[in-house]
Amino acid sequence: MTYELFERRFAAINDLLNIANQLTWDFRTMMPTGGAAMRGIQMSTLMGMAHELMMSAETRKLVDAAETEVIHLSEDSIERRCVTSARDAHDYHQRIPRDLHQRRAELNLTGQGVWERARAQNDF
């Protein structure tokens, strides 16, 4: 039962990250050139939400509980690998402040727009 809650939590986090990928794809393929700043703000908001969900006390408890629940399974079982990956991701993102995570997401798209203009003008 706990593992199912863990799966649902990380599915929600994954959904947010997939939405971010869709927004990035749209930015690179369909979005008018003037939309970079607004899309950067949208990405910042979305990545902040994903970071908040990942770093919540509830997520940490679900990872801890799921780890206990799957410890008896083989190390190469899907469930155990999922929990290990989730633990690694949580530990990694815990070291990155939310503000930095959001600012990076925003500037990544803004910078892409600047690069595309410079490339089109052969002005590196």
Q: What is residue 75's DSSP assignment?
A: T
pLDDT of residue 35: 82
Helices (H), 1-124: 2-29, 36-55, 57-70, 78-94, 98-120
Per-residue pLDDT for 106 more than 90?
Answer: no
CA atoms within 13 A on the CB side of 107: 6
Per-residue pLDDT for 7 more than 90?
Answer: yes
pLDDT in tens, 81-101: 999 999 999 999 999 998 998
pLDDT of residue 105: 87
The structure's pTM equals 0.84
Q: What is residue 96's DSSP assignment?
A: S
pLDDT of residue 89: 94
pLDDT in tens, 34-47: 788 888 899 999 99
Note whether 47 and 54 are within 8 A (CB): no
SS3 33: helix
